[in-house]
Structures are given as structure tokens and as C-alpha cells.
Amino acid sequence: MDERHKKILQRNRTNLVKELEPSSLYDLLLEKRVFTQDMIDEIQSAGTRRDQARQLVRDLETRGSRAFPLFLESLEETGQVRLVQALRDGSSLGTLQPSAPPVLRPTLQPLPIVSLMDVDEKIIIPPIPIPPIPPIPPISPMQKRSTTPTPSPEGDVLRPKPQRTRKDSIQSYKMDATPCGHCLIINNVEFEQKSDLNNRTGSNVDCDKLQRRFTNLNFIVEVKTNLRQKQIRQELSALSKKDHSVFDCCVVIILSHGTEVSHNRFPGAVYGVDGLYVPVQHVTNFLNGQHCPSLQGKPKLFFIQACGGGEKDTGFEFSPEDETAPSCGGGEDNQTDAIPTSSSSDSLSMSDEPDARVSLPTPSDILVSYSTFPGYVSWRDTQAGSWYVETLDRVLSENASTDDLVTMLMMVNHEVSQNSAKGLYKQMPGSFNFLRKLFYFQPRAQEHQS
């Protein structure tokens, strides 16, 4: 797309997101070959109308020189004339607001009383009569003079309001259903040769641990192994179509290779065994309130054991007195879940757009826990499994009956940050938390014995 057209779109992006009706454009943009069906599907999966409009405008900038005029044609055909006018003129939508009719002001005669506001403010406020203030009751010698404000006209002394307890800070999600919900584990171990991705030796160790752990945490656990990109989407779609009405929660765990991709909500993507990826934000969309009504208002938890990119963190030197010395996470058996360096750079250079860091919407009741910081590799021991899953499993075993999930994830973050691969490389897990309440698992009675 020409730079001039890109600048017009960027200048009008805010109002385009506010006013554009993307659903009416999809068939036309497909017919005019502005977008492919796959691109339309991705835009539709972005979420709300505003999210879809934002994604459409962003993707439009990556298309060819004919994309802009064809976009204008489609807007005109669907009756979105105001947008057509602004984009065709190259102006900003803000300049097209209808002007207000002229205000006829009467000639003002001098008044004996000065108004409280300037005439140009178009409002004249007459003097306000002040009611008499009742006398202040005398203070006895033993009484300490109050430092509170003067009594109000009603005679009530203003006292500092007691601090309100924020209910959302003490409420917890309902978690008393038995079982409490579904848990889908996608474990990609053996990758097709065409994918240029190595097999993930040790991932079965992770899968077995998590299957046992979430079974003990009272979930219906289902494991799917070695799925292609399309199959990952199909399994998530099938999960979203289940009736979750009798359950209190839903969990998705993905163990695979990963990479950094463009995003407007949740960073990162996970690979199918065919070498094609699914963005994490699309993974979460399947279970959000719009696409899975029976999970509205209920916690949806996602645990991603995969790389967020190809960078390796060498950490920094520090010597705090109250910290234990960083432990070594093993030696030659450590592997990463990143795509190969050459493949990674090729993949990112072919991306339709740079990594987007726009303002985040707030999809409620979703938490995404990542094994590593976006952009960095995630380490996995071929014998013991990944650092993240091994630590997560242990922390859940020891603390799930007493601590909330966010607290336990901070424990995981701290412990994993102490590990060191080959005596050099570090790893920092993290999460995107959009839960509205505290989340406590309900372990089975025998959980403390496991």
C-alpha cells in the first residue's frame, strides 16, 4: 500500500475503529481479493466489533496498492458514506463533525447585579441565597475540639467516611462443582520433517505430571497429542461448544514449540506439528464470553509451555543478602522450545506487520500463564521435563489447598528465575491476568498425599 494511503488510515484509525462496521465488508473484500478467506477468519476471531475493526484496518495496510481504493469502494457499497468522505479527502474524521447551528444571543441590557459567569458562557446564574448557618453547639472543657469541617446547613457534623472494603478484593470465584470443569492438554512432541522443528524430548514427562495434577485438582482431563494447526483449532472449537453450565472453570494447557508474532491482546503463538502456528490470542478467543456463553463470568486458565521467541536471557549479576544462590538447571540435556534461529528470523521477516503493542482490552476472567517472558526461549530438560512445568506441578502440589492461583504463580516465577541453563542462560515466566476475583483450586481430599 502507498505510504500516503497508510498515513490516511493511521490518521483516522481511532474513529475507524469506533465507527466501522466490518461484518458488512467481509464478502465484498473477499470478492475483490483484498483479503483471503484465512485472513477474514482471523479478523472475525479477533473478538468484538471494535477488535475486528482494529484488526481489519491493521491488516489492510499490509495489502497491495489496490487495497485502499477497493476498501473505499466496499465502504461506499455498504453505505458507510461518512468514512468514505474522510478517507477519500485524506482528512481526519474529526474535521467532519456536523457544525452546530449558530446561537442567536439576545441583546443584553446592563443589570444592577453582576452575573457569576461571563456572558460568553451563555449561562447567567443569579445570586444564590445563602441559608443561615445554625449556631455551633458549645464544646465542653473535657471535649477536644474537632478538626472536622464546619457543620453542614442540615446540622450534621461531617466526619471522615470509613474506608470501604473493596468487595472484588476479597471475593473468590465459586469453585464447588464436582468435577469443577474441563482441562484440555495439547502435547506436541513429534514434529513433521517439513516443519524444520525438532522433536520435544521430555514433553511427555510434563504431560504426565500435569494430567495427574489437574485430575487431583478435580478436573476432567483430556490429552491430545501431536496436533497440526488445524487440529488445534478444531479441539479448541469443540471445547468452546461444550455446555459448561454445571462447571465452575475451564483450563487449557499447551506444550509445544512457540514463537513471537504480532498481537493486540496476548503475545506469542504455539506451533502445530506441521510447522504452522496458532496465536495465543486466538487460543483464548475460543473460550471468551462471546464465543463460549456457558463460561461467561467463570475463570478460564491457560498455561503455555512454549518459547515466546528466540532470544536467550543471560541474566544480570546481583548479590542480595536475602536471596539464595541461583541453582543450575542442568547441563547438556537442556533444550529450548524456540524455533531454529534461521527459521525464526525468516518467519518474523515475512510477518504482515511488526509486533503490535497497542492498548489492551480487558477480556474478563482470563489468565494466561507463560513459561517465559515474550520474545525469549523456554528451557526443557530431556529427562526431567521443562523447568516451568516441573516447578508449577510442585507448587500446586504443596500450596493449592491454601494459596490463590496468582500467589502460586509468583512462587513459580521466583523459583524458575533461580535456575540456570548451561551455567549461563536464565528464564522468567509471567502471566497476563484478567481475573476479577481470587481463584482457589479445590483439591481432592488425597491431594496433599500426592
Is residue 85 located within the same domain as residue 193? no
Mean pLDDT of 151-179: 61
- Going from the C-alpha of 402 to that of each of 300, 315, 388, 389, 440, the distances in angstroms are 20, 32, 21, 20, 8
Domain of 29, CATH number, reads 1.10.533.10
CA 404 – CA 345 distance, rounded (Å) = 39
Residue tagged active-site, from 257, 263, 282, 292: 257
Q: Are residues 204 and 330 in the same domain?
A: yes
> Using 50, 70 and 90 to split pLDDT, how confident is the model at 31?
confident
Is 299 in the same domain as 421? Answer: yes
**Per-residue model confidence (pLDDT) at position 394:** 93
Q: Does 307 reside within a domain? A: yes
Q: Is the pLDDT of residue 100 over 50?
A: no
Which residue's entry shows cell 439576545? 106
Contact predicate 270/232, CB 8 Å: yes
| Alpha carbon distance 123, 136 (integer Å) | 36
Question: Rounded to two decimals, what is the model's pTM?
Answer: 0.54
Kindly state the helix (H) or strand (E) to which residue 239 belongs, with its residue range.
helix 229-240
Q: Are residues 261 and 359 in the same domain?
A: yes
Within a domain: residue 153? Answer: no
Is 257 part of the annotated catalytic residue set?
yes
Q: Is 122 left (phi over 0), alpha (psi -120 to 50) or beta?
A: left
> In total, how many domains does the chain have?
2
Residue pair 232/334 in contact (Cβ under 8 Å)? The answer is no
Contacts of 435 (CB under 8 A, 6+ apart): 173, 299, 365, 366, 367, 405, 406
The mean pLDDT value of the chain amounts to 75
pLDDT in tens, 299-310: 999 999 886 434
pLDDT confidence bin for 313, thresholds 50/70/90: very low
Look at residues 91, 119, 150 and tell me which one is the last residue of a structural domain.
Answer: 91
d(CA 173, CA 437): 6
Average pLDDT over residues 100-121: 49
Give yes or no: residues 278 and 384 share one domain: yes
User: With contact defined as beta carbons under 8 Å apart, do 375 and 260 qualify?
Assistant: yes
Structural domain boundaries, residue 194: 181-449
102 CA to centre of own chain: 46
Is 67 a residue whose pLDDT tops 80? yes
In a domain, 136, yes or no: no
Confidence band, pLDDT 50/70/90 cuts, at residue 17: confident
Are 221 and 338 in a shared domain?
A: yes
Instruction: Report the pLDDT value the prediction gives residue 115, as an integer from 0 to 100.
Output: 44
Same domain, 83 and 186: no
Element containing residue 56 per DSSP (H, E): helix 49-60
* CATH number of the domain bearing residue 429: 3.40.50.1460
Compare 414 and 338 and report the one with higher pLDDT: 414
Q: Does the residue 147 lie in any domain?
A: no
Cα separation of 217 and 343, whole Å? 39
Is 97 a member of any domain?
Answer: no
- 91, 118, 136 - which closes a domain: 91
Q: Which range, 6-20, 140-154, 183-197, 315-329, is most confident?
A: 183-197
Which grid cell sits at 62?
499490509
Q: Is residue 436 part of a domain?
A: yes
Q: Does the residue 10 lie in any domain? A: yes
What integer pLDDT is reported at residue 102 of this predicted model?
Answer: 47
Cβ neighbours around 119 below 10 Å, total: 10
Q: 249 catalytic, yes or no?
A: no
Domain boundary among 28, 60, 91: 91
The top-scoring range by mean pLDDT among 38-47, 290-299, 371-380 is 290-299
Task: Spot the catalytic one: 183, 207, 292, 307.
Answer: 307
For residue 444, the model assigns a pLDDT of: 82
Is the pLDDT reported for residue 195 higher than 70? Answer: yes
Count CB neighbours of 333 within 10 A: 14
160 pLDDT higher than 60: no
- Domain match, 386 and 245 both: yes
Residue 358 CB partners (closer than 8 Å, separation 6+): 54, 264
| Domain identity same for 71 and 210 | no
Is residue 112 in a domain? no
